[in-house]
Amino acid sequence: MRTDRRAGVPAYRRTWAAVRGWMESALAVVRQVVGAPDYQRYLEHHARCHAGAAPLGPREYYAEFVSRRFGSGPTRCC
């Protein structure tokens, strides 16, 4: 097994970490394209822009997303 001499981390672990990072990025793009909620992105934004207030929990965030996205009326066109 090869080991990175600088960090002492096996090569396969670095490879899987890179793959996992790529997959997380791809999933975030897909969520953004289809309009699905991205809680992690919300937390990053909240920490940057609203540091004094507590963020919503995952369930509250999703409920807020659904109410803003669909409102109280029907979601179909006909």
- What is the DSSP annotation of the chain? --B-TTT--BHHHHHHHHHHHHHHHHHHHHHHHHT---HHHHHHHHHHH-TTSPPPPHHHHHHHHHHHHH-SS--S--
Whether the model clears a pTM of 0.85, i.e. scores above it, the answer is no
Query: What parts of the chain have a pLDDT lower than 50?
Result: none
DSSP β-bridge partners for residue 3: 10
Domain residues of the chain, as ranges? Answer: 11-70
| pLDDT for the residue 74 | 66
